[in-house]
């Protein structure tokens, strides 16, 4: 399923127009993104938790040349599925 399919499903499930559903999906995704960008987390009970994982700087190697290189620290988005989602997938 891609974003357009999701918008179509939301529109039909909520009995709303595709443009309204598109705005709702966009607003939801933007809200999650901005909260994660501010270092917060988003908990959707039964669905899961979106959070930020901090990765420290490390030393790596260029696989082509074998030369040492510094890998900078970074923040990465993380998702942990909730029990209801796990149960729905495994049923």
- Residue 90 predicted with pLDDT over 90: yes
Q: Give domain limits for the chain.
A: 1-38, 41-91
CB 68 within 8 A of CB 61: yes
56 DSSP 8-state letter: -
In tens, the pLDDT along 36-89 reads 999 999 999 999 999 999 999 999 999 999 899 999 999 999 999 999 999 999
- What is the pLDDT at residue 51? 97
Q: Domain spanning 41-91 has what CATH number?
A: 4.10.520.10
- Assign 91 a pLDDT band (cuts: 50, 70, 90): confident
Is residue 29 classed as helix, strand or coil in its secondary structure?
A: helix
**Pairwise CA distance, residues 8 & 12, whole Å:** 6
Nearest to 87 by CA among 50, 46, 49, 51: 46
């Amino acid at each position: 399923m891609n974003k357009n399919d999701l918008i179509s499903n939301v529109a039909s499930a909520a009995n709303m127009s595709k443009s309204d559903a598109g705005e709702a999906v966009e607003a939801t995704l933007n809200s999650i993104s901005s909260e994660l960008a501010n270092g917060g987390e988003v908990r959707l009970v039964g669905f899961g938790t979106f959070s930020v994982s901090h990765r420290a700087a490390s030393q790596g190697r260029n696989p082509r040349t074998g030369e040492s290189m510094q890998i900078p620290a970074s923040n990465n988005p993380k998702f942990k599925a909730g029990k209801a989602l796990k149960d729905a997938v495994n049923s």
